[in-house]
Copies of this chain bind each other. A is one copy, B any other.
Amino acid sequence: MSSGSAGADTRDGDVEATAASAPRGEDAAREHVVQVADALYYARGVQAVGMDDLRSASGVSLRRLYGLFPSKESIVLEVLRRRHELWTSTLAAAVSAVAAEGPRAQLLATYDYLAVWFDDDDFRGCGFINTFGELGAASPAVAAAAREHKASFQAYMASLVDAAGGSADLAAQLAILAEGAQTTAAIAGTGEAAGQARRAAATLIDAALG
């Protein structure tokens, strides 16, 4: 599953200089395709983006696309995997940046992270929620990816709350706030939900720990 370089091929003939937009190596090509697919799927929805669109946008021929991935669904799952890792590591970085200010500041940094995200011009909600709504009923693998992503976030919040001396219930409440802010911001089209969620979180934290 790790799709890593373990085993097969990967002769890494990487010496040569990459010519055009489409990378040469197999791993680099996979990453390139997933990156392009992520942008397209997130902006337009998975079902609205065909393999032909992905081909033109990535510059990778259909022949090679199906050499790199066995099916469209596998690309979708790879996109979700990458998105999860990106989201998780970026959040962790934002939280770590305020570690010196203590656990309460770290918890609130989560909502500042959301605020920055919501203000992105391309923001269109949580990709996992969107994809779940679109494919969750038909694809158990997609539903599982969304479930695992959310469970991972809840666990992360729980660890932060635990470090602050809060209860598991507080962690769940803070996660629900973050969740609600994402959908509210996505549908309303404005980012103000981040600030509202942040103030609610501060109230809950202070009530629980104060």
A residues engaging B (CB < 8 A)? 43-45, 47-48, 124-125, 128-138, 143, 146-147, 150-151, 169, 172-173, 175-184, 186-189, 192-193, 196-197, 199-200, 203-204, 206-208
- Cβ of A205 to closest chain B Cβ, rounded Å: 10
Q: What would be 7 A-B contacts, judged by CB atoms less than 8 Å apart? A: A43-B137, A129-B187, A136-B187, A151-B188, A177-B180, A180-B180, A206-B207
Q: Which of B146, B192, B200 contacts A187 (CB 8 A)?
A: B146
Nearest-neighbor residue (CB-CB) of A131 within chain B: B133
- Alpha-carbon gap, A169 to B197, bound state (A): 10
Contact residues in B for A188 (Cβ distance below 8 Å): 147, 150-151
Contact residues in B for A133 (Cβ distance below 8 Å): 45, 125, 129-134
Q: Which of B136, B175, B196 contacts A184 (CB 8 A)?
A: B175
- Alpha-carbon gap, A168 to B69, bound state (A): 50
Q: Which of B45, B189, B199 contacts A135 (CB 8 A)?
A: B45
Known contacts A197-B173, A207-B203; A45 and B125 CB within 8 A of each other: no
On whether the beta carbons of A134 and B45 are closer than 8 Å, the reply is yes
- Alpha-carbon gap, A184 to B147, bound state (A): 9
Nearest-neighbor residue (CB-CB) of A175 within chain B: B184
On whether the beta carbons of B186 and A176 are closer than 8 Å, the reply is no
- Alpha-carbon gap, A200 to B171, bound state (A): 11
Nearest-neighbor residue (CB-CB) of A176 within chain B: B180
- Alpha-carbon gap, A146 to B124, bound state (A): 14
Contact residues in B for A187 (Cβ distance below 8 Å): 128-129, 132, 136, 143, 146-147, 150
Contact residues in B for A128 (Cβ distance below 8 Å): 187
Q: Which of B129, B146, B186, B199 contacts A169 (CB 8 A)?
A: B199
Contact residues in B for A197 (Cβ distance below 8 Å): 173, 176
Contact residues in B for A47 (Cβ distance below 8 Å): 47, 134
